[in-house]
């Protein structure tokens, strides 16, 4: 199973083909947003936060 993802500022064709269009632009936190979304979807986001 594949997941197509694009940053907010991707070309129109890429955004239209994507399952998820991120809120962040490329180079401005898009990868971090993707990682957070994936970890939240798996239910493990809280496991990866620093709780000091």
Contact, 40 vs 49, CB < 8 A?
no
Cα gap 3→9, rounded to integer Å: 18
Write the CA distances from 8 to 16, 21, 22, 31, 49, integer angstroms. Answer: 11, 6, 5, 11, 25
Mean pLDDT of the chain: 93
pLDDT tens-digit series, residues 17-36: 999 999 999 999 999 999 99
Confidence of residue 46 (pLDDT cuts 50, 70, 90): confident
State percent of the chain over pLDDT 90.
83
The domains of the chain are located at 5-45
């Amino acid at each position: 199973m594949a997941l197509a993802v694009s940053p907010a500022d991707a070309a129109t064709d890429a955004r239209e083909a994507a399952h998820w269009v991120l809120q962040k632009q490329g180079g401005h936190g898009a990868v971090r947003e993707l990682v957070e979304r994936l970890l939240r979807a798996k239910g493990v986001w809280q496991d990866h936060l620093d709780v000091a």
